[in-house]
Structure 1
Amino acid sequence: MVVAALSTVVEWYDFTLYLYFATVLSRVFFGGDRHSLLATLAGFAVSYAMRPLGAMVFGHIGDRLGRQRTLLLSMMLMTVAMLATALLPDYAAIGPAAGGLLLVLRCFMAFSVGGEYTGVVAYLLEGARAERRGLITSLASAASEVGALLAVAVAALTVGMMSEAHLAAWGWRIPFLVGAALAGSVWIARSTMQESPEFLRQLEHRTVPDSPLRHTLANHRPALLRTFAISALGSITYYVGITYVPAFLSSSGILAEGRSLGLSTLAAVAVIVVTPFAGALSDRVGRKPVLVALGVAAMLLPLSMFGLMANGGGEWSIAGGAIVLACLAGGVSAVGAPATAEQFPGEGRLSGLALGVTVATALFGGLTPFLAELLVQRTGWTALPGAMIAAVALAVLPVLLTMPETCPAVARRRFRRALPQRDNG
């Protein structure tokens, strides 16, 4: 379970690195003109369309052949994709074809990542004790922030320790080589993992579905809707509220590139600290009340936080806004991980997560940084990214208010209180 939790470091290292390094990559692969940053973010959004496809393929493998097998395969493909990215020729060498090759590799990476997070979440949930599912499953989110923190640190060091000429010539390759080495190490460690006890139960009782995707669509459509809603909120708070922030600060002229990357380190640390507390709180009071409270906060806070960063009184105000947004996103991710996985039984769980989680992530994660940057450029309203988060939270809140409680410990306590008291007389 420790290996599974830590392995999400690689997934989020790569995708966070791409966004935090977006301004550098725009110069290296797209020529550095005024449209190059939009082209870089558009490539990120387009590649995310491959994520649901990858999730369905890997989800089918995980539901039919085992959780361990799908996690090994996805990590192997991620290692290949990151190594190939580090070796790509740049715009100076082959012109516009460089951006096209980068997009192809992003699509390949997104496909392999599709089954990664959902597979890890299912594996942790199925191995945890019922009263600790929230805490244990939230470790996937905490570990992903370790990957994000590592991406920020490597990117900031790379940008800060060399000239812009050296960075464009060869320095940009260093963070991707680090990611490839990290992915290869995790792949070796994953070979020692045991199979999920839930999948072993299915094998013993011969309940493994022949077609997991068809099984999920036929029996769990309301669960798919709830999973989509929770994941939509988690995706937009994370991708707009955390990973888009460095590009927002640098492209808006609020902070220099190196300073904005350094600030993101504080945000990643804040998420790592908040995540296990949010997961443990959901074990005590339930997933539903914590998610509802976070949904209300997502309606109220992001507008003011983006406004504070754009018009605040210095770096302390900017840091405060970024940290509040990061804590909000970390809380939603922490509770959303067990809440979405608990919507489905073990049979077909990965396929259900593939449909609900990754489709929401593709729409509200990969696409939103591009839309946020485009709309800020077109309107000049720097608080608009916060309005995007608030709009999604408003749409999702009715689903959160009506969803059933899925935390086993809380549901058990409620059941016991509902039982008629025995007459001792």
Structure 2
Amino acid sequence: MSSPTLSRASMVIAAASTVVEWYDFTLCLYFASVLSRVFFGPGAGGLLTALAGFAVSYLLRPLGAVVFGHIGDRQGRRRMMLLSMAVMTAAMLATALLPTYAQWGAAAGWLLLALRCLMAFSVGGEYTGVVAYLLEGAPPERRGLITSLAAAASEVGALLAVGVCAALVYWLPTPSVESWGWRLPFLLGAALAGGVWLARSTMGESPDFERQLAEGTVPTAPLGYTLRHHRAAIGRTFAISALGSITYYVGITYVPTFLATTGQRGEAEALGLSTVAAIVVILVTPVVGWLSDKLGRRLVLAVLAGAGALLPITLFSLMRGGSAGQALLGAVVLAAVAGGVSAVGAAATAEQFPGEGRLSGLALGATAATAIFGGLTPFVAELLIAHTGWPLVPGAMIAGVALLVLPVLLTMPETAHRPQRPA
């Protein structure tokens, strides 16, 4: 008998809703140079302060993932996703209404960082909740393709963020952007999040969670259950997400800051390159998800890790010192690798666990890796460039992580066609 699946409407709403979280966080990274001046005042240290603050806020993602994961494992995926989106809506609206450094001084920066922490907390369980929901509602032979749509839709959010930033930089003079224009992207994000919350209220519950309710297998303490029974799976999930996080956050979202601070490209040109890269990710992601259904998660991840080990230093060199065409090539290839890892990683991480305790397992593995190799790495990359004088540090960071996780990917069990039942 085939596994029960979700309605197409529920699947579309769940996949599309990842637009919001990635719109907000990539907005902050793409707009880092502007926000640093608005909230931390003029001076060379403002950008590093902003990036450090965003990195610290990312450390709350694992805590949020544990809290929201507990809700999702105990009370259902749908309830968890409604709650997280409500918090995200409130945080983005509050950010749009913040006073600036010129108005409140240093207090403005602290308020921004507090709201970044609240946003990170709510986002902690958001993406993993959507991934689990899609995986549990997809036909077994299409889990990779359908789950990858969450990653593709998240890049739509990133594309929207970079498009809005590019439009503001292009159409508004810098004084206008810094006085009031920066508020517009956050107001748009709050409206978008509110619309997603309304759409999510019509979604059905995950078939796998309904199975757990019917069989009486919902774990009383999901976190403890996962730690007792699935420690190796947590380690594998951490490795997959470490590769996905550093390729995405250093290979895509940090690129505009890299291009601007190395002095080779203007802000508008850097954001334009990132727009093209985002489109590439959207196109690549479902293709790689489909390939992982056909060829297996292990093989596709291993090939992508090999590309991550061999290419990034050369690609960052092209972006920094090459012609406009070479810079575009570097950005596009980096984006394709990052998009590919995110695509197959979505299903591969969720498949490491049974339905029971799945969200808690993803919190311990995937979200913890994202906090370390996602939120911290743009700050570390910028700091290392400043201290070493070597502009290709970001490429070396990606290559190093890819080499470290490759043995794990080569030896992990294949999950593409494994039934998603309790172990």
3-state DSSP class of the match of 2:413? coil
Contact 1:306 1:321 in 2 (8 A): yes
Separation in 2, partners of 1:16, 1:362: 14
- Number of the residue aligned with 1:176: 186
- Do structure 1's residue 393 and structure 2's residue 402 form an aligned pair? yes
Separation in 1, partners of 2:238, 2:383: 25
Larger Rg belongs to: 1
Separation in 1, partners of 2:396, 2:370: 18
- Number of the residue aligned with 2:113: 103
- Number of the residue aligned with 2:3: none
Separation in 2, partners of 1:357, 1:8: 16
- Number of the residue aligned with 1:185: 195
- Number of the residue aligned with 2:4: none
CA displacement 1:91-132 (0-9 Å, x = unmatched): 000111111111000000000000100000000000000000
- Number of the residue aligned with 2:95: 85
- Do structure 1's residue 165 and structure 2's residue 175 form an aligned pair? yes
Contact 2:319 2:331 in 1 (8 A): yes
- CA-atom RMSD, angstroms? 1.0
- Number of the residue aligned with 1:136: 146
1:381 corresponds to which of 390, 406, 410: 390
2:340 corresponds to which of 331, 353, 356: 331
Letter in 1 for 2:168: T
Q: Kindly tell me: are residues 409 and 280 of structure 1, through their superposed partners in 2, closer, same or farther at Cα, counting changes over 3 Å?
A: farther
After TM superposition, the structure 1 = structure 2 runs for residues 142-291 of structure 1, keeping only pairs within 5 Å, are 142-291=152-301
Letter in 2 for 1:396: V
Letter in 1 for 2:354: P
Letter in 2 for 1:357: A
CA displacement 1:219-249 (0-9 Å, x = unmatched): 0000000000000000000000000000000
Counting aligned pairs with the same residue, the percent is 70
Shift of 1:311: 1.6
Shift of 1:42: 0.4
Aligned residue pairs total 410
Separation in 2, partners of 1:68, 1:409: 25
Separation in 2, partners of 1:61, 1:152: 33
Shift of 1:32: 2.2
Separation in 2, partners of 1:404, 1:69: 32
- Do structure 1's residue 352 and structure 2's residue 361 form an aligned pair? yes
Shift of 1:353: 0.5
Contact 2:20 2:157 in 1 (8 A): yes
Contact 1:208 1:347 in 2 (8 A): yes
5+ residue gaps, structure 2: 1-10
The runs of at least 4 consecutive aligned structure 1 residues that moved more than 6 Å come to none
CA displacement 1:7-55 (0-9 Å, x = unmatched): 0000000000000000000110011210111011001100001100000
Shift of 1:262: 1.4
5+ residue gaps, structure 1: 412-425
TM-score (norm 1): 0.96
Separation in 2, partners of 1:145, 1:63: 27
3-state DSSP class of the match of 1:382? coil
Q: Kindly tell me: are residues 410 and 389 of structure 1, through their superposed partners in 2, closer, same or farther at Cα, counting changes over 3 Å?
A: farther
- Number of the residue aligned with 1:420: none
Separation in 2, partners of 1:149, 1:39: 25
Letter in 2 for 1:294: L
Contact 1:285 1:410 in 2 (8 A): no
Contact 1:283 1:409 in 2 (8 A): no
CA displacement 1:172-221 (0-9 Å, x = unmatched): 00000000000000000000000000000000000000000000000000
After TM superposition, the structure 1 = structure 2 runs for residues 59-78 of structure 1, keeping only pairs within 5 Å, are 59-78=69-88
2:15 corresponds to which of 5, 25, 42: 5
CA displacement 1:143-182 (0-9 Å, x = unmatched): 0000000001111111111111111110000000000000
Contact 1:198 1:346 in 2 (8 A): yes
Shift of 1:409: 6.8
Contact 2:140 2:419 in 1 (8 A): no
Separation in 1, partners of 2:164, 2:346: 27
Separation in 2, partners of 1:156, 1:91: 23
